[in-house]
């Protein structure tokens, strides 16, 4: 496999490796942004390097905003993609905008150590090149439960289900995602670790695969935190072999 043509991702990686252990202040309240139903004002930036079969690879830079609006939360994500594609003449690098998405999340039930959240996510065909997007506009209703303290006072488990279907564009999409989010937040609220297995079922093409993500993160200073998130694809139908994501979060109440 050829090394990535851009050094920007690895420059960011070096900065995060240096900064990750540096939790400079103790937090009296959780500003880690790890609780999926805590409606906060967020700005997040993350870079993901992904390796697929052959010499194909990509770097995706995502910019995410989360804004509470009354009793719902709006999440918006936009992407810039740099992709290296294998061709008969050798690898070719292309860059541009990827698809964007937005989600409305609502919590209809929360009592004691259990909550239920429902959401509706829209996926929009905003990619500047076909290689950077699905070519479709899609909707993805979802529901998930949140169990606080299931494996101890600093733990959170959130199993989720989402169904994605197309409403415009070329081709047909019918896909289910089963997601299990398991989190441990240190008592100091300065560090966290997360395990997130996901199972994807492509009903339209009779394909299925899974991916396993692991995340470790730390507060840096004020409302700012960062994390490292490696991931591996599993199964013959997987869409990638491995990925590495680096993130920076700004969380305000």
Q: What is the pLDDT of residues 77-126, one digit of tens each?
A: 999 999 877 777 777 788 999 999 999 999 999 999 999 999 999 999 99
Reduced to 3 states (helix: H, G, I; strand: E, B; else coil), residue 19 is: helix
**pTM: predicted TM-score of the whole model, two decimal places:** 0.85
Reduced to 3 states (helix: H, G, I; strand: E, B; else coil), residue 112 is: coil
pLDDT at 85: 73
Residues in the chain: 253
User: How far is residue 106's CA from residue 69's CA, in Å, rounded to a whole number?
Assistant: 10
pLDDT at 78: 96
Question: What are the residues whose beta carbons fall under 8 Å from the beta carbon of 198, sequence distance 6 or more?
Answer: 177, 178, 179, 180, 210, 211, 212, 213
User: How far is residue 96's CA from residue 25's CA, in Å, rounded to a whole number?
Assistant: 38
pLDDT at 20: 52
**Residue 17 near residue 227, CB atoms below 8 Å:** no
Does domain 8-252 match CATH 2.40.160.40?
yes
Q: What tokens does 127 get?
A: 């990619």
pLDDT at 22: 44
Which residue ranges in the chain fall short of pLDDT 50? Answer: 1-7, 22-27
Other beta carbons within 10 angstroms of residue 213's beta carbon come to 17
pLDDT at 17: 57
Per-residue burial over 1-34, b = 16 or more CB atoms within 10 Å of its CB, e = otherwise: eeebeeeebeebeeebeebbeebeeeeeebbbbb
């Amino acid at each position: 496999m050829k090394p990535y043509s851009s050094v920007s991702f690895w420059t960011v990686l070096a900065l995060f490796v240096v900064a990750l252990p540096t939790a400079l202040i103790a937090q009296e309240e959780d500003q880690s942004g790890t609780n999926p139903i805590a409606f906060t004002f967020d700005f997040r930036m993350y870079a993901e390097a992904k390796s697929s079969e052959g010499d194909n690879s990509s770097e995706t830079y995502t910019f995410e905003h989360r804004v509470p609006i009354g009793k719902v939360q709006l999440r918006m994500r936009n992407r810039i993609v740099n992709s290296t594609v294998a061709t008969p003449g050798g690898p070719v690098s292309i860059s541009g905008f990827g698809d964007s998405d937005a989600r409305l999340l609502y919590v209809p039930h929360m009592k004691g150590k259990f909550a239920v959240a429902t959401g509706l996510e829209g996926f929009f065909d905003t990619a500047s090149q076909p290689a950077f997007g699905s070519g479709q506009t899609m909707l993805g209703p979802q529901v998930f439960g949140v169990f606080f303290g299931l494996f101890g006072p600093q733990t959170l488990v959130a199993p989720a289900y989402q169904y994605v279907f197309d409403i415009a564009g070329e081709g047909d999409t019918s896909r289910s995602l089963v997601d299990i989010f398991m989190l441990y937040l240190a008592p100091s609220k300065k560090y966290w670790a997360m395990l997130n297995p996901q199972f994807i079922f492509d009903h339209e093409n009779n394909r299925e695969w899974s991916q396993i993500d692991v995340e470790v993160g730390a507060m840096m200073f004020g409302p700012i935190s960062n994390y490292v998130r490696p991931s591996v694809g599993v199964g013959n139908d997987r869409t990638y072999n491995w990925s590495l994501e680096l993130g920076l979060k700004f969380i305000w109440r």
